[in-house]
Amino acid sequence: MKPTLLVLAAGMGSRYGGLKQIDPVGPSGETVLDYAVFDAIRAGFGRVVFIIRRDFDELFRTQIGAKYVGRIAVDYVYQAIDALPGGHPVPAGREKPWGTGHAVWCAREAIKEPFAVINADDFYGADSFAQLGTFLVQGSLGFDPMSGHRPPAHAAAQFGMVGFKLRNTLSENGSVSRGICQADESGRLQSIEEHTGILTSEIGPGKKYTGDEITSLNCWGFTPALFAGLNRQFGEFLQTRGTELKSEFYLPAAVSTMIARAEAEVLLLPTTSEWFGVTYREDRASVEARIAALVAAGAYPAKLF
């Protein structure tokens, strides 16, 4: 069974000022998302599922999804503020959905096979998808590609995460939020802590961050076992923080909790890929230049689709 790519594309990009997922950055009008789908196809993925909002459904389907028809199976899942378990009400005054953990939870009925999760507006690189593809065919079945061993049947779910160095995930045009990872000596993730408002000026000797911290950028490999953990935790989250108008149920925090509860093990997947993304509108020129360099080097064709 080929793995599925689940793309978090419900955000309108409030800091960026528009639906940044459809802005062209490639030489033939490609979006950042086009490169992710292209890399996933050549890494052996068989389907892509987009998590979007209903208010831009038609725009997204016609300008993004239509390009992939005939190349990979395409499906859609909707993230909505009132998509909640157990009859939980939406608190008065709540305006936004419930975060990345909620977005993935919304896909629980659509995915029955091993799957990767990525952000729509991040460029993860070909090797990241190659690592995920290999892991999802081998590692998600319990095979550890580092040791060659399989765990016993009662062991925790086996997940994977592609990590990037913090210094390579920043924007010169403003602050970013990043999940900072702690790992054990065997390369297994122990926890992820969300850090907000990180600036380039805070990186370096004697500063808040060294820049070598392993960072989660929502580039994951999962099995459907994730959904049971998300379901439990999202219910707990709504009980304790559901009345907060801006609270968010983050995917990295949910995975950290599964690790702490011995429900999952997460292998950090090494990659030679270099991350870049469009957080602010001013980031676009840099992304265009870096993609042009990759095309010139032969890493991608001048026209993807």
Average pLDDT in the 68-79 region?
A: 95
pLDDT of 38: 97
Q: Are 192 and 252 in contact (CB under 8 A)?
A: yes
Full domain range(s) for residue 176:
4-296
Whether 303 maps to a domain, the answer reads no
130 within a domain of the structure (yes/no): yes
Rounded percentage of the chain residues whose pLDDT exceeds 90: 55
What band does 230 get if pLDDT is binned at 50, 70 and 90? very high
3 state SS of 35: helix
State the total domains in the chain: 1
Write down the pTM of the prediction: 0.87
Question: Tokens representing 163?
Answer: 């990590």
Read off the DSSP letter of residue 198. E
Instruction: Identify the pLDDT of residue 18.
Output: 52
CA trace torsion 53, 59, 63, 69 (10° rounding): 70
By percentage, how much of the chain surpasses pLDDT 70?
91
Q: Is 305 a member of any domain?
A: no
Could you tell me the CATH number of the domain that includes residue 275? Answer: 3.90.550.10
Is residue 68, in this structure, part of any structural domain at all?
A: yes
233: in domain: yes
Q: Categorize the per-residue pLDDT at 192 as very low, low, confident or very high, splitting at 50, 70 and 90.
A: confident
Please work out, in degrees rounded to the nearest 5, the angle formed at the alpha carbon of residue 222 by the alpha carbons of 237 and 87: 30
Q: Which two tokens stand for residue 52?
A: 């979007």
Considering only residues 15 and 42, tell me which one the structure prediction assigns the higher pLDDT: 42
What average pLDDT does the structure give for the chain? 87
281 occurs within a structural domain = yes
User: Would you say residue 104 lies in a domain?
Assistant: yes
Residue 290 lies in a domain: yes
pLDDT number for residue 155: 58
Mean pLDDT, residues 126-152 taken together: 71
Query: What pLDDT, in 10s, does the model give residues 18-42?
Result: 555 567 899 999 989 999 999 999 9
Going by C-alpha positions, the residue among 186, 195, 107, 89 that lies closest to residue 147 is: 186
